[in-house]
Amino acid sequence: MFFGRYLIDNYHPVSKILCLVNSVMKYCFAYLFYVFNTKNEPPVCLIGSNYGEKRSDNALALFDYIRDQNQHEIYFVENRPKEEDAIRRGSLKSFIYFFRSEGVFFSHSLSDILPQMHTLPFLFRCLKKPRKVFIQHGVTAMTGLKSVDRYIRKIMATVDFVIATSRIEKALLIKLGATDKSVRITGFPVHDTAVFGKREKKCLVFFTWRKSGNINIEKKAVVNDPEIIKNLHEHQYELIVHYHDMNSHENYRIGVDGQKVVDNGSLREAINEAQILITDNSSVAWEFFYRERDVIFYKPSPDTRVDLRQAGFHVADSIHELSVILVSALAEKLPLTDVKDFFSFKDRKNCERVYNLIQ
């Protein structure tokens, strides 16, 4: 049991080497099994997300669509599978099913399905199948970080296709290291399930994941500020705080003048319901833009090459400026950011276009 935890725990220093050795052995065995297996087995698709820890919204929307088509057996690859439609990540079965698959879809890297195997791209270059599709969720277009630069170049060595929402995002992905042939404008699967009409007086605070920086300090400054809490209270808005799965969970349930900050429930539900988003540069912003709702970027410590303010976004460099912009949003006087060119499709056929990439 002690040794086993290092075979899937990618965040422990020991795990990367052990995961890689374990995965390479299973990869070789599964490939031989695939080559010499003479059984005529039904076609399979695999979906992985968040390194097996969580079924992300993009992955879940696509999973439901493929399952409903009844053309492929479809499985989620997870670290702790609890459902019949899931396979344990890193298991020999997951490697065997990888070679059986006609398509594999992942939200972060091929390691969502085969732990640490994204570091060995040469093992996949000669494989005609499965088709490997990177269902990224918009973080590339929002940040433009140097780390994303390296990330995309590494990811593209092990994928056949990466999805995009528009020509603008495609151009950025190519600039970051993707090829014109590999980037396909399909839209994001999760947008097929977007709720437009349901708007409530709620303000969501959600910051993206960062390896380092003052993210917790910045976030606490927002939810602790008396002026922000006062303005929300006066306009009868509820403040909802969610933390990123990959960030440490700190207690943000902070009361100011009896106003309680909520930090529970479904993030998807909060996205569908909230009228206002306060974030740093999380891709959740695209969910609000898609629904034509207010987004305020709070960036006291700039860490991006993308000039959000020049691009027409509402950006606050200080808590005071954030409070001023928020007042306009609460009074429904904040101009909506024009992002129509960032979304090529609103026809709820994004899942269909992504699925067709493996046909």
Structural domains in the chain (count)? 2
Q: Is the domain of 42 the same as that of 164?
A: yes
Q: Which amino acid is at 272?
A: N
The stretch 285-303 carries a mean pLDDT of: 85
What CATH number is given to the structural domain containing 176? 3.40.50.11820
Phi, psi of 233 (to 5 degrees): -65, -45
Strands 200-206 and 183-185: unpaired
Least confident piece of the model among 5-19, 59-73, 242-256: 242-256
Query: What pLDDT score was predicted for residue 160?
Result: 94
Contacts 24+ apart (CB under 8 A), 121-125: 121/157, 121/158, 123/27, 124/158
Are 113 and 106 in contact by the 8 Å Cβ rule? The answer is: yes
Query: What pLDDT score was predicted for residue 1?
Result: 37
The stretch 255-265 carries a mean pLDDT of: 49
Residue 343's nearest CA partner among 196, 188, 194, 198 is 188
pLDDT higher at 10 or 134: 134
Q: Is the domain of 159 the same as that of 36?
A: yes
What CATH number is given to the structural domain containing 314? 3.40.50.12580
What is the per-residue pLDDT across 178-216, written as a single tens digit (0 to 9) for each?
A: 899 999 999 999 999 888 877 789 999 988 766 555 556
Q: Is the domain of 22 the same as that of 152?
A: yes
Are 271 and 194 in contact by the 8 Å Cβ rule? The answer is: no
What is the per-residue pLDDT across 127-140, written as a single tens digit (0 to 9) for each?
A: 888 999 999 887 65
Query: What pLDDT score was predicted for residue 130?
Result: 94
Write the burial class of residue 70 (CB in 10 Å: 0-12 exposed, 13-18 middle, 19+ buried): exposed
Residues of the chain with pLDDT > 90, as a percent, come to 44
Q: Tell me what the pLDDT averaged over the chain comes to.
A: 83
Phi, psi of 43 (to 5 degrees): -65, 150
Q: Is the domain of 300 the same as that of 353?
A: no
Query: What pLDDT score was predicted for residue 78?
Result: 95
Q: Is the domain of 60 the same as that of 208?
A: no
pLDDT higher at 284 or 103: 103
The token pair that represents 27 in the structure block = 């990869």
The stretch 34-41 carries a mean pLDDT of: 87
DSSP 8-class letter at 96: H
Q: Is the domain of 43 the same as that of 181?
A: yes
SS (H, E, C) 264-299: CCCHHHHHHHEEEEEECCCCHHHHHHHCCCEEEEEC
pLDDT-based confidence at residue 163 (cuts at 50, 70, 90): very high
Q: Is the domain of 19 the same as that of 156?
A: yes
Cα separation of 88 and 286, whole Å? 31
Domain boundaries, position 127? 2-187+348-358
Q: Is the domain of 57 the same as that of 170?
A: yes
The token pair that represents 145 in the structure block = 């970080």
Query: What pLDDT score was predicted for residue 5?
Result: 46
Q: Is the domain of 58 the same as that of 171?
A: yes
Match 């020999």 to its residue by tokens. 92
Phi, psi of 339 (to 5 degrees): -125, 20
Q: Is the domain of 180 the same as that of 243?
A: no
Q: Is the domain of 132 the same as that of 250?
A: no
Cα separation of 143 and 74, whole Å? 32
Cis-peptide into 189, omega within 30 deg: no
What is the per-residue pLDDT across 312-348, written as a single tens digit (0 to 9) for each?
A: 789 998 899 999 999 999 998 888 888 888 899 999 9
Residue 17's nearest CA partner among 154, 125, 120, 149 is 120
DSSP H helices, 42-104, are 57-69, 92-100
Q: Is the domain of 237 the same as that of 288?
A: yes
Q: Taking phi first (over 0 means left), then psi (-120 to 50 degrees means alpha), and beta for anything else, what does residue 116 get?
A: left
* pLDDT surpasses 50 at 167: yes
Are 242 and 252 in contact by the 8 Å Cβ rule? The answer is: no
